[in-house]
Amino acid sequence: MIADLARFVAIPTGHNHTPGLETFRAILTARLEALGAKAEVIPGDPRPEWLTESTDRDRAKAFEPPPTVVCRRPIKERPRILLAGHLDTVFDPHGPFQSFTLSPDGRTATGPGVVDMKGGILIALVALEALEKMCIPVSWSFLLNSDEETGSYASDRALRAEAARNDLGLALEPALPDGGLVTERKGSGQFLIEAFGTSAHAGRDFEKGVSAVYALAQAITRCERLCDVSRGLTVNIGPLKGGEATNIVPDYAAAWGNVRFPDSTGADELVRGLESIARSFSEAASGMDRAAGSSAPATPSQEASRHPRIRIRHSIARPAKPVTPRTRQLAETIRSVSEALGAPLPFGTSGGVCDGNNLQEAGLPTLDTLGVKGGGLHTQHEWINIESLVERATMLACVLAELSA
Ligand SMILES: [Zn+2]
């Protein structure tokens, strides 16, 4: 398993690196086909262009939506279990963090994606291979997407379709630091606030200008008021852009942001809050025009140029994942298997999001931290607990057998 993991980690799959993704996809598909699975490649869908910060536009051009592969090995009269893994990492294929390094005592190893989630994919492969060798019949499908770290926009359709074809979902995200299982997750959404004003020379014609940056700053302050941390509603702003030079009143400014919420009611509340900010600017603009009571009404274009305008776009791509009776039941089954193997399995929650959010929202009871143990996710110190490879592969194999008994 260590040799396989070293090989997987050495394949760069971050930043939509197509050659690496294709290589990794091919290796995994071949191993799953060797178990009798049939592979289907599902083309990716494009993500909304506004999600990409303009500074990243050039890099984003290279972001052809990657495909998803689903390898299916159905067996009649067994619950259909979906395993879900992502091939991508967050790491730059040309960055400094590239290699798999085993510690001198052999207990840990570092490497890009070693725990999130190349180790997780490896234990699922090994678990399926072990079940096959022992002739334990499990009806499984294994979905492998390539854009989980950037929101699963390309693979959302494939995730939903597979959710509908299966009875239970198990995703291979890393375990919590205490080895625990995440039973509920917040949801997450992205948004963009754009402010439009009128540019003017900051010295000669200041009064003719309408600053988009001032308008954006006001809108951002109002966003902060939408936060209610005690109810799990948060709004984070950044990055920002606006202005060309200090002597020009800026006519355009933009801020990207992220919302988190514990349930769909919270998501609706935040979306309504964002929309009301944009609306209040247009209402203020029309109110001020009327109050001005000019005898010669301004043309629409003159009116528009007197007041800043705010446009807000949003995308709730990761719905919240609250506990449902069926996920609770699945979590209890996994816990009883883990305890039978001698490992207690605490339950926990997370403000982070993953494909488990999308699968469960599409109707599939899903638990998503069946992967390996380690830490330093998304950092240059990402590490895996080597013992957890065998420990978690054993647990996953036993969970699959138990769910199929
Ligand atoms: Zn992950």
**Ligand 1 center to residue 266 CA distance, Å?**
24
8-state DSSP, 10: T
Distance CA 13, CA 21 (A): 5
Q: Where are the domains of the chain?
A: 2-185+322-404, 187-316
**Ligand 1 center to residue 398 CA distance, Å?**
22
10-residue mean pLDDT series, the chain (405 residues): 98 96 98 98 94 60 84 96 98 95 98 98 98 97 97 97 98 94 97 96 96 97 97 96 96 97 97 96 73 51 73 96 97 98 96 96 98 96 98 98 97
Determine contact, residues 70/42, Cβ cutoff 8 Å: yes
- Which SS3 state, helix, strand or coil, does residue 173 take? coil
CATH number of 187-316: 3.30.70.360
- The pTM of this model reads 0.91
**Ligand 1 center to residue 156 CA distance, Å?**
15
- Which SS3 state, helix, strand or coil, does residue 215 take? helix
**Ligand 1 center to residue 148 CA distance, Å?**
7
Q: Distance of CA 143 to CAs 21, 29, 158, 172, Å?
A: 14, 10, 9, 11
**Ligand 1 center to residue 14 CA distance, Å?**
12
Which tokens hold the place of 61?
Answer: 């051009």
- The 139-145 sheet, strands edge to edge: 38-42, 68-73, 139-145, 80-86, 168-171, 366-367
Distance CA 316, CA 152 (A): 12
User: What pairs with residue 311 in β-bridges?
Assistant: 194
**Ligand 1 center to residue 89 CA distance, Å?**
7
**Ligand 1 center to residue 384 CA distance, Å?**
13
Homologous superfamily in CATH for domain 2-185+322-404: Zn peptidases (3.40.630.10)
| Residue entry with tokens 């754009």 | 194
**Ligand 1 center to residue 51 CA distance, Å?**
20
**Ligand 1 center to residue 201 CA distance, Å?**
49
pLDDT value of position 294: 47
Distance CA 188, CA 254 (A): 20
**Ligand 1 center to residue 185 CA distance, Å?**
14
User: What is the phi/psi pair of residue 200, to 5°?
Assistant: -160, 165
pLDDT value of position 328: 97
**Ligand 1 center to residue 277 CA distance, Å?**
34
**Ligand 1 center to residue 378 CA distance, Å?**
9
**Ligand 1 center to residue 86 CA distance, Å?**
7
**Ligand 1 center to residue 216 CA distance, Å?**
33
**Ligand 1 center to residue 63 CA distance, Å?**
19
- In one letter, which amino acid is 186? K
Distance CA 165, CA 74 (A): 11
**Ligand 1 center to residue 367 CA distance, Å?**
13
**Ligand 1 center to residue 149 CA distance, Å?**
7
User: What pairs with residue 81 in β-bridges?
Assistant: 140, 168
pLDDT value of position 52: 78
Task: Give the distance between the most distant pair of CA atoms in the chain.
Answer: 88
Task: Report H helices in 78-155.
Answer: 119-133
**Ligand 1 center to residue 84 CA distance, Å?**
10
pLDDT value of position 225: 97
**Ligand 1 center to residue 238 CA distance, Å?**
23
**Ligand 1 center to residue 376 CA distance, Å?**
12
User: What pairs with residue 41 in β-bridges?
Assistant: 69
**Ligand 1 center to residue 116 CA distance, Å?**
5
Which tokens hold the place of 46?
Answer: 């494009």
Q: Which residue, 212, 387, 186, is CA-closest to 310?
A: 212
